[in-house]
Amino acid sequence: MSAALLVRALRDPASVARLSAESWNGLIAVARAERLIGTLAHRLKGIMVPPSVAPILADARLDTMREARQALWEADRCVEALRGTGVRTILLKGTAYAAAELRAGQGRFIGDLDILVPRAAMPMVEKALMTAGWEWVKPDPYDDAYYRQWMHELPPMIHRTRDRMIDVHHTVLPLTARQTPDAAAMIADAVEITDGLYMLSAEDRIVHAAAHMLADGDLQGGLRNLWDIYCLLPDADPVVLEVRAAHHGLLPHVRQARRLAASLYGEGARLTLWDRLIRARLLARNGWGQETRKPLVFAFYIRSHWLRMPPHMLARHLWTKWRKGHRPQ
Amino acid sequence: MKHELTLRIGPATFRIGSSWAAPVDQLARLYAAYPQASGTIADFTVRLQPTSLARRWVRPSIFITGDHGLADAAPMSLAHGLLAAEMGMNLQMALGWRRHLLLHASSVEKDGRVLVMTGESGSGKSTLAALLGERGWRLMGDEFALLDLDSGAILPFPRLVSLKNKAIDVVAAEVGDVRMGPLLRDTAKGDIRHMIPRGDAVARMDDGAMPRLLLFPRFGHDADVRAVGQGEIFMRLTQASTNYVALGEPGFAALARFVQAVPARAIDFPSGEAAFEMVERLWEELA
């Protein structure tokens, strides 16, 4: 119920005027759990809120400002590290939105620095980053080999002194996934933001966000990913978006993302049964910020692995991880 | 969650939810004299939940989390539920508070001026604050001192005082059983027992005051007093602060002002009595 409260507050900020203290507590806990408190704080700017809520929102705005500044500095350091390699720094997700001052970036939580580079350039990029002070996070040889063979990114690296993570992608989905987006086309059509920073075209940004949310992963943080998509949509040409999504093999995902975004944050949409299941998963949080609907959440967790790799590979992978002591949360 | 309680301590309000009754019941008893906060909007949510479905009933094991949590936080037994709740509140403050510079320090006030004491766990700062709080000083807090970014004042955060091992008997003898919590044996930090601050500490928990002396106490050595350079003080306080980096420039400015305005000493002491006398003497000289 409380995740629905968050969705309503984002869609219609004025609706918070009628909230009880208990509902406010639920709204704030869920917004923090979904890492949307900064976005909420941004949306509620200028709206009358109870005196005890105002400082909570002000703090959240302060935090997102600091995060954006930190993220942009990391991006700047990355450009510097890749200088001389001839590889452009194409920013993905949060850092791109912040750098380009997109609506999706307003108040957005920004975690790691995600960049996209051509696959052929990966060894060179890796070397350049290590020279500049980034180092491996995962010492496990199995994980390392797995990433390199099958994933769409290098194993995550962290900067030695700044303690910030970088994810270097060469495409947008694992190589074992059923869809194979055209990463080369995305890189070719990237647009410059400023100062040597690039991001995907308006349409590819949505394709990437939809792929990330719906063709990969277990919908953890899905409300935030969907908010991104909702905010990115007005910048894209709907016709070009359809063509582009089809080219990347992700048309059903992009269409579904549009339906879900319209249903949760926009004017509403007619949902399929499958859409409704995803919506139920997205809203699975109670007023304490805890995940609810455990079987559904677990089913999506299983599905995320199912999507990522063929069954025999999945079985081997899970067995290896289990032996190493990994258990699903 | 099944059991809940809302507590206001100084400027922060916590909504604590628990899957078990015991921790909430203990909190309710120990914080009974604090202002009524139920039905208000809390700054933070704290959750005491089982580490897994079965662990609610079988060998109950508490995972401490909330708005802000650590994925690798060690689980705790239900017998230590009160400590878990206190740690849950600490965690929210340490990771989420932005309205003041947080110093991991104890603080006491006399004549409208504040003595701040900081040091690592086991340095004796909690014990010292507890003893001073019984002897003519007002206890402002033993875990966090909140430094106001604009005024430079220290604001109270008078939670239960957490006493460890040998300090328990020393303080309990002075305070009496009525104001003591249950003895928690064999926690990660040894035995722990909480003390309810005196009535004046609770009644005046919204009254800040200007800092006038900073001490770096160290228990278990022969009595000694040393000067500390401002550069070192600054560095030690940045390490004692959990939100210094998050606050950015205002945090830097407030801390720099604090370091320049407040005289500081490092003191070694062999016993609580010795420390008490040293503090009183330094206070006369410097504050």
Tell me what the mean pLDDT of segment B143-154 comes to.
97
B99 to A66: CB separation less than 8 angstroms, yes or no: no
A55 to B68: CB separation less than 8 angstroms, yes or no: no
Model confidence pLDDT, tens digit, residues A56-65: 999 999 999 9
Point out the residue among A29, A56, A66 whose CB comes nearest to the CB of B248.
A66
Point out the residue among B1, B68, B99 whose CB comes nearest to the CB of A288.
B1
B66 to A290: CB separation less than 8 angstroms, yes or no: no
Question: Exposed (0-12), middle (13-18) or buried (19+): which is A156, by Cβ within 10 Å?
Answer: middle
Q: Are B44 and B14 in contact (CB under 8 A)?
A: yes
Distance set, CA B167 to CA B86, B140, B164 (Å): 18, 19, 6
Tell me what the mean pLDDT of segment B144-149 comes to.
97
Report the range of poorest mean pLDDT among A89-93, A125-129, A238-242, B57-61.
B57-61
Tell me what the mean pLDDT of segment B272-284 comes to.
91
State the pLDDT confidence band at A229, using cuts at 50, 70 and 90.
Answer: very high
B17 to A33: CB separation less than 8 angstroms, yes or no: no
Nearest-angstrom CA–CA distance, A309 and B114: 62
More confident position, A76 or A152: A76
CA distance B66 to chain A (A): 8
Residue of B nearest to A25 (CA): B41
B45 to A289: CB separation less than 8 angstroms, yes or no: yes
Q: What pLDDT is recorded for position A177?
A: 82
H or E segment to which residue B191 belongs: strand B190-195
State the pLDDT confidence band at A1, using cuts at 50, 70 and 90.
Answer: low
What are the DSSP E strand ranges found in chain A?
A: 89-92, 113-116, 134-136, 157-159, 165-169, 191-194, 197-199
> Is B43 touching A (CB cutoff 8 A)?
yes
Selected for mutation to probe chain A from B19, B45, B65 (highest A CB count within 10 Å) is: B45
Residue of A nearest to B15 (CA): A25
B67 to A53: CB separation less than 8 angstroms, yes or no: no
Residue of A nearest to B16 (CA): A288
Model confidence pLDDT, tens digit, residues B105-135: 999 999 999 999 998 877 888 889 999 999 9
Give the A:B interface size as CB pairs under 8 Å: 47
Model confidence pLDDT, tens digit, residues B59-105: 899 999 999 999 888 899 999 999 999 999 999 999 999 999 999 99
A62 to B98: CB separation less than 8 angstroms, yes or no: yes
- A52 chain-B contacts, CB cut-off 8 A: 13, 40-41, 43
Tell me what the mean pLDDT of segment A88-106 comes to.
97
A290 to B246: CB separation less than 8 angstroms, yes or no: no
Nearest-angstrom CA–CA distance, B276 and B223: 11
- Whether the per-residue pLDDT at A224 is higher than 70: the answer is yes
pLDDT > 90: percent of chain A:
75
> Is B133 touching A (CB cutoff 8 A)?
no
What is the dihedral angle through the alpha carbons of B92, A94, A136, A168, rounded to the nearest 10 degrees?
Answer: 170
- B248 chain-A contacts, CB cut-off 8 A: 66
CA distance B181 to chain A (A): 27
- Whether the per-residue pLDDT at A115 is higher than 70: the answer is yes
> Is A63 touching B (CB cutoff 8 A)?
yes
CA-wise closest residue to A228 among A43, A110, A104: A104
ipTM tops 0.95: no
